[in-house]
Every structure is written in C-alpha cells, then in structure tokens.
Structure 1
Amino acid sequence: MPHTPSSPVGLHRVLEPAGATLPQAAQRLDARPELWPDEVRIAIETLNLDAASFRQLSEKHGGDGEAVRAEVLDIVATRGKMQNPVTGSGGMLIGTVEEVGPRSPLGLSVGDRVATLVSLSLTPLVLTDGLERWDGRSERVPAEGHAILFGRSIAAQLPDDLGPDLALMVMDVCGAPALVHRVVAEYVARGHAPTVAVLGGAGKSGSLSLAAAAEAGAARRIAVVPVEREAALLRGTGLAEEVVVADARSPLGLSEAVAAAGGPADVTVVCVDVPGCEQPAILSTAQGGTIIFFSMATSFAAAALGAEGVAADVRMLVGNGFVPGHAAYALDLLRRDPVVRGLFEGRLEEQPVR
C-alpha cells in the first residue's frame, strides 16, 4: 500500500502537473495497481468511448480503425487515463471488482460486475492486451487491464436482467434523462407543460431524453435528426409528436424547422456529438426558455457569447452526467419503454463487439 496520504477526489494520483490539479485536468496520472485505503481496482472488460471523442478520432484518421486503435493505446499509455486531447472527454467502462481498499466508501465487493459512472478522462487506467479484439470502428472497446476508482468515484452494479453491453450503453448517458426529467418537472410544477425539442432524438441520450420528457409531463416533444433514416426510426413510435430532419449546425435551418413543428421550444436538449450547435439551439429556444447541453462537442464560450449576441434570455445548463439516482432511473426507463429499448438494441446489432 502506498505511504502518501490519499485524497477522495484523486489528487494523490496526479503526476503532471504537480500541485493541486484534479485528475480530469491533469496531463498524466499514476495508474499503478497498488491501492490506497479508500480506492477500488477494477479488472476491465469493456470500455465505452464517448461519442464526441470517438467521432473526432475516427474523422481524424479517415475511418482507419487500426490508426484509431493505435492512438487510443498511445493516449492511455501516455496519460494514464483515456482522455481525448482534442475533446477532453473519455467515456466509461464495465468490469469486475478485483480489490477493495479497507476504507473504500463505495460499497463494492470483490467479484461485483460494475459500470463506472465517472469519466475515463479522470480514471487511472492501464491496458494490457493491446486492444487486440477491437477493430477501432465502434465506440465499444473489448479490453483487458485495470482501472482505479477513488473515494468519491461512482459505480453501479450491472443489472441481472439486461446484457452488459446494453446496460453499458444506457449508463453511459444516464445523466441526460434524469436531468431532462428534473427540468421538465420544474416547468410542470409551475403550471406550464413545456414544449421540448431534442437535437439528436434518435440517439442514445436523445431517445432517453424524449422518454423522460414524456414521463415528466411535457406537452409536446420535437425530435430533431440529421437524416431521413433516423427520422424513420422515430416516426409512428409515439416517442415524439413531431420528427423533423434538420441540420443542428444551421441557425436558421434548425430554428425554422423547430418553429414549423410547434416551437420555439421551452426546453431544448442538445445531444448531438458535433460542434457548432450552440447558436442554432439558442435561436430554437423561446425567450425565458432552457437549453441543456449534453454534448462534449459543445463550446461553452460560443454558447454564452452566442446568446448575448442575439439578446436571448435563455437559461443554459451543463449536463454534467450526474444526478442522484440517474443510473437506476435510466435503466428503469429502458425497461418500461419498448421503443427506446428497441433503438438501443438496434445499435448493438449495428456495432457488434468483435
């Protein structure tokens, strides 16, 4: 066991820069397997790269899976964590608890199969298999190695009734539906059932957000998707009252499409994994409305300055990925909503683990 004192937020694992930098902002972490008393070590089974990070890597390398795999290995070896240097984001993982420090507050036991609910961008990580079972062409990454959880990390045991890959996909975005439910419920409690527009409505976080908005009492849900193929997945399902095809990066194109579908929206939820959606989301939202940014591709400077530039009185929230009870809520939502479950299972069929 290391002799230096530990920090519940992982300061003791920061190697560069020296000082009080938190693990997420650090350039390099100490990922050795020896535990401090309040830590937990996980034997890795699967990594799930976040959508913005995987898209950036894939586009950078022109879809060359071997090059993507090589860069992921280099990032982890260099930084002691999986943190895309361009997007700053990482993802999450599933695995089995290998060792639990005697003062760990997480309530985990050796042998538990868990999903980490904290970002790989701050999780000490070592890969030992060269990612030989991954072709670099999907977000889900079969892997071997270990990861370290701190005293204030979050992990959830995998449910018995859902496959691990399905559960991982849900837990990866579980903060989105929980926060959408909270925000919509606030509107309803004030006597106004809101119109909710979800950019990226056919995606993982988008479909769960649409279902959560319905449960919380939204009056109208508008799903925005980029192509007709995704629109066809949603039309006739009841997941949204209106499904529109529009480019979420086009300020006038998006705002006009949302207006034609019954907008502007009282609540706009940004779930797309491409940059440049800040101004379009602002113009699609009613004065006094709320925008929730869940995409790691969001520029928050562009959002703030964009709202100021068009005199938009909108509340802008950062979807930080954590709401108390978010994992249990998202998993239950999947169980209750066959449409959402079908969308998730379709994604698994499109991207089988190799």
Structure 2
Amino acid sequence: MREGAGMSGAGTAAGTGTAVGLHRVLEPAGVLPQAAARLDTDPAIRPDEVRVRVERLNLDAASYRQLHTAHGGDPDAIRAEVLRIIGERGKMHNPVTGSGGMLVGTVEEAGPDSPLGLRPGDRVATLVSLTLTPLAVTDGLARWDGRSEQVPADGHAILFARSIAAVLPGDLPVPVALSVMDVCGAPALTERVVASRERPVVAVLGGAGKSGSLSLAVARRAGASRTIGLVPTAQEEELLAATGLADAVVRADARDPVAVAAAIGEPADVTVVCVDVPGCEHGAILATAPRGTVVFFSMATSFSAAALGAEGLAADVTMLIGNGYVPGHAETALGLLRSEPALLPLFTARAGADSAE
C-alpha cells in the first residue's frame, strides 16, 4: 500500500482515511484535502481511487472574477496565476476566494474497490470541488485564452471513494453540460426548501446567472406562489424578463442592502443568493420576511458577515449554506434544462463559442 507523505494514523481505520483522501494530503498533516495547503498528485491510484484524464476545467464564478479583477483582465497573467496555483498546491484552490470549480475528463483507470461505478472510457464531470481534487496540468493551459471560466486543459485528476462524478449526457454540448453540473446543487436545494413551505414567495439575487436561472425555474415547479429575479444591469433585466422564468424582474446592486430591499418590495419567504461578488449578505437578509429562509450559494459569501448582520438587524431568519451536494442534484439540474425551453439558450450563450464542441 502506497503511503502518502502526509498520511496520518488518525481516521485511517477501515479505509476511512483513504475514502476521503487523507493519504493525499502532503501538508499540513491531519487535515482533509479541501483544507490542505498541498496535495499529492501521483497518478498511481489506490484500490478505491479513480484517475481521470482532464479535458476541461470550469473555474467557479467567484474565483474567475477575482482572478480577472486582480490581473486587470490580462489573459496571460490570469493563465499564469492559475498554473501557479495548481503547480504549488496540487489542486485548483484559489487562496483569495477559497474556491475552485470542477472538471470534465475521461476515466483512465478505476481501482477495483472504487464505489463510484465508473469505467475506463467514461466521459465524466466531477461534482466535487477542485479545491479538494488532486490535479496536475501538463500542457501549460496553452489552449486557454484566459477570457472565460471554462479552461481547456490536459493533465490528470484523482477521485476518492467519497468523491462524486456523473457520466456526461450525450444530448448536450460539453461546455453546456459542464456549466449546468457546476451549479447543480443550487436548484436541488432550492427545490427542497421551497417545497417545504406553503406557496412561498421566492426571490433570487443574481437571477440571470447559471445557478440563479435554474433556481428560479425550480422554485416555480416546486410550488412558489411568486418568483422575483434581481439583477444588476438593464441588459440582464431585459435578458431575464424575456425568458419568463421570473414573475417579476427587478434591478439593484446586490451589495446595496437598502436598494435590494426596496427592489424586492414585500419581503420574500425564501431568498436565494447566487451572486458571485462579496458583500451581498445584508441585502438578502433585509429582503427576507421574519421566519423566512436565506440560501447562500455564492462562494463570495462571508458567513460571519451574514451571521453577525442578521443578529445586528434582529432578523429572525434561517440561513443555509448551499454546500453543492444534494442527492440527485445533477439529474435535477439536467432535467430542468431539458424541460424548461428558456434555460438552454441562456446556458448556451454563457458557454460562448465553446458550445460548438
């Protein structure tokens, strides 16, 4: 049995450490891969691991926005920064946002004890964050222009026994399927929350985005009495209004709490935050009715700001962290894309020229 340099005796009984990837942690010892500073990317797999040949990375929106802003939109500098992070950390884990993304690739080898049900040749999307996925890139990201979240790449990644991956659907272009699967946790949890209440009013901040548009669609299907999509610009207001996904489309800067509350009007029973910029916590809380629920899906969220802000506003609201995993989340999101005609054009447009693949 190969021993990872950072392997700790704690939690490794009965294969537990292997199942969650503890043996791949190089430093610091004793933490899980997501919290690690550096991971072991050795392509030799253990019996319950899977090695994937990487085709494309999908950086999460908050991470790409931060990189774009930090480097003034310079594509060469953005590319160099992503390569540096992956090279130093053995994973794509943005140190500023703490987020990563996910990937598409083809299974090269599956260990005999892997419970994921994957076979060599399967083309898959990983449904776990790149912040905990051992990743090595071998092509210098030479095919990426640095101008979008989707990154053509060559290399390999390692999945653990408790990782999640889905075989790509054959009826959708890869960039579109990747975009949907990247945010599939949002509509799945939104559906659960909305269905648990009696015809709630649902507001989605960032309603024209990927997770936002899916959340609006599923909220209506789950029994919302009214859906409101909040967007920041006139262009997105026009775009979302044309889809018919929201009963009302309103415009405000999600970072301006008073403007958000004024735009939403009568407070919503459920507010879903899908905005990829920091500073949106207080507006979401102000826009939510007493005993309502706020669901935070953005990786730009400061959860301390949300908790302390709710306390300071004397807001009796339940706040949920969308952790990206709900059983059946990929099937839910793909089903929405296939059944709601307005969604596919939105995702195709956001995938850009790559959608022709």
- Please say whether Structure 1 and Structure 2 have the same fold, judged by a TM-score greater than 0.5: yes
**Aligned AA (2:66):** Q
Is the aligned partner of 1:132 residue 2:142?
Answer: yes
Aligned-residue identity in percent: 67
Which residue matches 1:12?
Answer: 23
Is the aligned partner of 1:66 residue 2:76?
Answer: yes
Q: Aligned Cα RMSD in Å?
A: 1.3
Is the aligned partner of 1:214 residue 2:220?
Answer: yes
CA distance in 2, matches of 1:70, 1:107: 35
CA distance in 1, matches of 2:320, 2:204: 14
CA distance in 2, matches of 1:33, 1:349: 32
Which residue matches 1:81?
Answer: 91
Change (3 A) 1:3 1:80: closer
Alpha-carbon distance, 1:137 to partner? 1.0
Is the aligned partner of 1:253 residue 2:264?
Answer: no
The 8 Å contact of residues 140 and 353 in structure 1, kept in 2 or not, is answered as no
Which residue matches 1:349?
Answer: 352
Which residue matches 2:317?
Answer: 314
**Aligned AA (1:10):** G
Which digits, 9 at most, give the CA deviation of each residue in 1:243-283, with x for residues without a partner? 01101000111101100xxx311000000000000011100
TM-score by length of 1: 0.96
Which residue matches 2:40?
Answer: 30
CA distance in 1, matches of 2:260, 2:116: 44
Which segments of 5 or more consecutive residues in structure 2 lack a partner in the other structure?
A: 5-14
Which residue matches 1:2?
Answer: 2
The 8 Å contact of residues 179 and 323 in structure 1, kept in 2 or not, is answered as yes
Alpha-carbon distance, 1:157 to partner? 0.1
Which residue matches 1:229?
Answer: 235
CA distance in 1, matches of 2:276, 2:120: 36
Question: What is the SS of the residue equivalent to 1:7?
Answer: helix
Alpha-carbon distance, 1:238 to partner? 2.1
TM-score by length of 2: 0.95
Change (3 A) 1:311 1:351: farther
CA distance in 2, matches of 1:337, 1:3: 49
Alpha-carbon distance, 1:350 to partner? 6.2
Which segments of 5 or more consecutive residues in structure 1 lack a partner in the other structure?
A: none
Change (3 A) 1:137 1:352: farther
Which residue matches 2:7?
Answer: none
Which digits, 9 at most, give the CA deviation of each residue in 1:278-299, with x for residues without a partner? 0111000001000000000000
Question: What is the SS of the residue equivalent to 1:338?
Answer: coil
Aligned residues: 346
CA distance in 2, matches of 1:309, 1:80: 40
The 8 Å contact of residues 141 and 353 in structure 1, kept in 2 or not, is answered as no
**Aligned AA (2:72):** G
Which residue matches 2:8?
Answer: none
The 8 Å contact of residues 173 and 355 in structure 2, kept in 1 or not, is answered as no
Alpha-carbon distance, 1:237 to partner? 2.8
Which residue matches 1:332?
Answer: 335
CA distance in 1, matches of 2:98, 2:26: 18
CA distance in 2, matches of 1:310, 1:32: 50
Alpha-carbon distance, 1:349 to partner? 2.7
Which residue matches 1:114?
Answer: 124
Which digits, 9 at most, give the CA deviation of each residue in 1:24-63, with x for residues without a partner? 0000000110101100000000000000000000000000
**Aligned AA (2:82):** V
CA distance in 2, matches of 1:129, 1:353: 22
Which residue matches 1:204?
Answer: 210
CA distance in 2, matches of 1:146, 1:110: 14
